[in-house]
Structure 1
Amino acid sequence: MAVVEVSVVPIGTSTPGLSAYVADCLKVLQQAEGIKYELTSMGTIIEGELDRVLDVVRQMHEVPFAGGVSRVVTTVKIDDRRDKAHTMAGKVSAVKSKL
């Protein structure tokens, strides 16, 4: 199971606000099967099988282009642990248990 952070940023929009683009990208996640996600103030955390998550990230990357944007910068950070199962909640819990 992979935990992935993604941020999709359209460049050259007519307004500095990006929340409408973020909402459109989240619609992809709402329809995706086999993944969990959490919206944060600086990106979105996605949990699932790596191939599935990367497929969804690609779909999210395409959303601003479909909306008429000519340039998109997408940042992806992958935590793919294979020695034991891990989740978004488990990662947070591990840190909190040490406080």
Structure 2
Amino acid sequence: MAIVEVTVIPVGTGSTSVSQYVAKCQKVLELEKEIQYQLTPMGTVIEGELDVLFNVLKKLHEVPFSEGAQRVVTSMRIDDRRDKKGSMDQKIRSVKEKL
């Protein structure tokens, strides 16, 4: 499984607030049964099979357009580890064990 950190930023909306777009993206994620996700203050972390994640990322990128934005900048970081199984929870546990 891969882990992706994604941030979707609508540009030129006339407002500095983006929470309405974040909420709509979270609703999209709620419908996706093949992934796990976690909202963070600066983005969302999603885990699942890479092909599934790419489809979900495209849906998230489209959300601001469907809400009237004319430009969207989406940033993502992909952690695709193949030497052993990993997850969001496993990564956090690993750090906590070392504290």
Using the size of structure 2 for normalisation, the TM-score is 0.97
The answer for unaligned runs of 5 or more in structure 1 is none
The answer for unaligned runs of 5 or more in structure 2 is none
User: What corresponds to 2:77 in structure 1?
Assistant: 77
User: What corresponds to 1:95 in structure 2?
Assistant: 95
User: What corresponds to 1:28 in structure 2?
Assistant: 28
> For residues 6-25 of structure 1, what are the structure 2 equivalents within 5 Å?
6-25=6-25
Moved over 4 A (4+): none
- Paired with 2:9 and 2:58, the residues of 1 have a C-alpha distance of 13
- Distance apart, 1:68 and its partner CA: 1.0
Compute the RMSD of aligned alpha carbons.
0.6
Aligned residue pairs total 99
The alignment status of 1:66 with 2:70, answered yes or no, reads no
User: What corresponds to 1:5 in structure 2?
Assistant: 5
- CA deviations 1:9-50 (Å, max 9, x no partner) are 000012111000000111110001210000000000001001
- Paired with 1:25 and 1:74, the residues of 2 have a C-alpha distance of 12
Letter in 2 for 1:97: E
